[in-house]
Structure 1
Amino acid sequence: MAAVTMKEIAQGMGVSVSSVSLVLNGRDSGRIKPEIADKIRKEARRLGYRPNRIASSMRTNRTRILGFISDEIATTPFAGRLILGAQDAARAFGYTLLTVNTNGEKALESSEIETLKQYGVDGFLYARMFNQETSVPRTLRDYPLVLVDATDVEGQLPSIVPDETAIGKAVTERLLAAGCKHVAYIGLDDNIAAQVGRYQGYRDALNAHGIALDSNLVINPRIGAEALESTERLMSEFRPDGFFCFNDARAWGVYQAAAWQGLLVGKDLSVVGVDNHQVIAETLAPRLTTVELPHYEMGCWGTRKLISLIEDKDVSDVLPPETNAELPKLDLVQAMISCRLVEKESIVGSRREK
Structure 2
Amino acid sequence: MVTMKEIAKQAGVSVSTVSLVLNNRDEGRVRDIVANEVRDIASQLGYRSNPLASSLRTGRTHMLGFISEDVATTPYAGGMILGAQRAAQQLGYMLIVVSTDGPRNEAEEIAALKRYGTDGFLYAKMSNRIVTVPEALKDTPLVLMDATDGTGETASIEPDEFHIGYDATKRLLAAGCERIAYVGAESPIVAERGRMEGYRTALAEAGRSVNERLIVHVGNNEPALAAVNELFDAAQPDGFFCFNDARAWYVYECAARRGLTIGRDISVVGVDNHRVFADTLVPQLTTVELPHFEMGYWAAAKLVSIIEERSLADMDWPDTAAPLPPMNTSTPAAIHCALIEKDSVRK
> TM-score w.r.t. structure 2 length?
0.93
Instruction: Give secondary structure in 2 for the equivalent of 1:117.
Output: helix
Q: CA deviation at 1:213?
A: 0.8
Residues 42 and 281 (structure 1), Cα distance of their counterparts in 2 relative to 1, 3 Å cut = farther
Counterpart in the other structure of 1:196: 193
Q: Is the 8 A contact 1:206 1:212 kept in 2?
A: yes
Q: 2:139 aligns with which of 142, 153, 166?
A: 142
Q: Is the 8 A contact 1:24 1:94 kept in 2?
A: no
Q: 1:212 aligns with which of 209, 212, 226?
A: 209
Counterpart in the other structure of 2:84: 86
What per-residue deviation string (whole Å, max 9, x for no partner) do you get for residues 254-289 of structure 1? 111110111110111000000011111233111100
Counterpart in the other structure of 1:352: none
Counterpart in the other structure of 2:332: 334
The aligned length equals 346
Moved more, 275-284 or 27-36: 27-36
What per-residue deviation string (whole Å, max 9, x for no partner) do you get for residues 92-117 of structure 1? 221111111114x2122111101100
User: Identity of paired residues, percent?
Assistant: 53
Q: Is the 8 A contact 2:322 2:335 kept in 1?
A: no
What per-residue deviation string (whole Å, max 9, x for no partner) do you get for residues 99-151 of structure 1? 11114x21221111011000011111101022111111111000011101100
What per-residue deviation string (whole Å, max 9, x for no partner) do you get for residues 17-42 of structure 1? 44432222111223445466456556
Which one-letter code corresponds to 2:122 in the other structure?
A: L
**1:283 pairs with 2:280:** yes
What per-residue deviation string (whole Å, max 9, x for no partner) do you get for residues 47-91 of structure 1? 654321221111111111111101111111211111111111111
Moved more, 315-324 or 189-198: 315-324
1:1-354 residue pairs with structure 2 within 5 A?
Answer: 3-10=1-8, 17-34=15-32, 37-38=35-36, 40-41=38-39, 44=42, 49-103=47-101, 105-323=102-320, 325-331=322-328, 332-349=330-347
Separation in structure 2 between the aligned mates of residue 193 and residue 44 of structure 1, nearest angstrom: 47
Separation in structure 2 between the aligned mates of residue 83 and residue 192 of structure 1, nearest angstrom: 23
Q: CA deviation at 1:299?
A: 1.1
Instruction: Give secondary structure in 2 for the equivalent of 1:128.
Output: strand
Moved more, 299-308 or 249-258: 299-308
Q: CA deviation at 1:319?
A: 3.3
Moved more, 129-138 or 181-190: 129-138
Which one-letter code corresponds to 1:211 in the other structure?
A: R
Residues 121 and 180 (structure 1), Cα distance of their counterparts in 2 relative to 1, 3 Å cut = same
> TM-score w.r.t. structure 1 length?
0.91
Q: CA deviation at 1:311?
A: 1.5
Which one-letter code corresponds to 2:92 in the other structure?
A: G
Separation in structure 2 between the aligned mates of residue 320 and residue 41 of structure 1, nearest angstrom: 18
Separation in structure 2 between the aligned mates of residue 271 and residue 117 of structure 1, nearest angstrom: 47
Q: Is the 8 A contact 1:272 1:346 kept in 2?
A: yes
Instruction: Give secondary structure in 2 for the equivalent of 1:316.
Output: coil
Separation in structure 2 between the aligned mates of residue 41 and residue 100 of structure 1, nearest angstrom: 33
Separation in structure 2 between the aligned mates of residue 130 and residue 65 of structure 1, nearest angstrom: 27
CA-based RMSD: 2.0
Separation in structure 1 between the aligned mates of residue 45 and residue 100 of structure 2, nearest angstrom: 37
Runs of at least 5 residues in structure 2 that lack an aligned partner in the other structure: none
Separation in structure 1 between the aligned mates of residue 227 and residue 99 of structure 2, nearest angstrom: 35
Q: CA deviation at 1:316?
A: 2.9
Q: CA deviation at 1:333?
A: 2.8
Instruction: Give secondary structure in 1 for the equivalent of 2:300.
Output: helix
Q: Is the 8 A contact 2:160 2:337 kept in 1?
A: yes
Which one-letter code corresponds to 1:265 in the other structure?
A: I
Moved more, 317-326 or 246-255: 317-326
Separation in structure 1 between the aligned mates of residue 112 and residue 262 of structure 2, nearest angstrom: 50
Runs of at least 5 residues in structure 1 that lack an aligned partner in the other structure: 350-354
Q: Is the 8 A contact 1:236 1:261 kept in 2?
A: no
Residues 224 and 137 (structure 1), Cα distance of their counterparts in 2 relative to 1, 3 Å cut = same
Residues 69 and 46 (structure 1), Cα distance of their counterparts in 2 relative to 1, 3 Å cut = farther
